Amino acid sequence: LHVTPYYNKTSQEGLYRHFRACAQATGLPVILYNVPSRTGVNILSETYRRLSEIDSIVGCKEASGNFSQIAGIAALCGENLTIYTGNDDQITTALALGAQGVISVVGNLLPRETHDICQAYFDGNCEESKRLQLKYLELMQALFMDVNPIPVKQAMRAMGYDVGECRLPLCDMDSVKTERLLQVLRDYGLVEKSVKE
């Protein structure tokens, strides 16, 4: 999973050359990770098309949140690039536009349910996929009330998983956000009512 370069923001040609060089430097399959809200750089659909012609570039985690962009990638790349959404709150919609799955945050807490959102869609039951998407929407949103992975790590610790603390500069949320997250976890039955962070 290879994220776009940040700070030294580059052109689309620079992105193409960078990812091509990285792909040529490894024998591993590469999934491009486009998350412009974090890096300030967006891989455009046409650049994805060019990159999809490189054999070892097999997929993308598209986390721009831009449905038009997902549609454009699917239209231009076809079978040459497997699209995964990086936005849990957009799984069903992304699948409808050509994505084939999700690289998920909520899946750390609800792996079966995240699978079921996708599987229902693949089975042709779009209504069930939508129902599940909406059922877990509040939890998905709660996991982004602060910078990822802070909320999901706090949630997993509250659920009894020893995932450790975040490394600096990331730190736990303040008590107000923590209590709000715990309440959502309680509402979904993921922690006992008595659990406190």
For residue 26, what is the domain's CATH number? 3.20.20.70
Q: Does some domain include residue 59?
A: yes
Q: Does some domain include residue 83?
A: yes
Q: Determine whether 6 is an active site residue.
A: no
Residue 26 DSSP label: -
Q: Does some domain include residue 148?
A: no
pLDDT of residue 197: 53
Query: What residue numbers bound the domain in which 79 lies?
Result: 2-103
Among 16, 33, 84, 121, the one annotated catalytic:
33
Can you read off the two tokens belonging to residue 28?
């591993």
Alpha-helical (H) ranges within the chain are 12-24, 36-39, 45-52, 67-77, 91-96, 111-122, 126-135, 137-142, 150-158, 175-187
How far apart are alpha carbons 156 and 191 in whole angstroms? 10
Residue written as token pair 């959404």:
85
Q: Does some domain include residue 25?
A: yes
pLDDT of residue 6: 86
Q: Determine whether 196 is an active site residue.
A: no
Q: Does some domain include residue 183?
A: no
Among 48, 61, 121, 136, the one annotated catalytic:
61
pLDDT of residue 194: 64
Q: Does some domain include residue 40?
A: yes
Q: Does some domain include residue 122?
A: no
Are 4 and 11 in contact by the 8 Å Cβ rule? The answer is no
Q: For the chain, how are helix, strand and coil distributed in percent, rounded to 5?
A: 50, 10, 40
- Cα angle at 106 between 9 and 37, to 5 degrees? 20
- pLDDT tens string for the chain (197 positions)? 999 998 888 999 999 999 999 999 998 999 999 999 999 999 999 999 999 999 999 999 999 999 999 999 999 999 999 999 999 999 999 999 999 999 999 999 999 999 999 999 999 999 999 999 999 999 999 999 999 999 999 999 999 999 999 999 999 999 999 999 999 999 999 998 765 65
pLDDT of residue 196: 62
Q: Does some domain include residue 126?
A: no
Per the structure, the count of domains in the chain is: 1
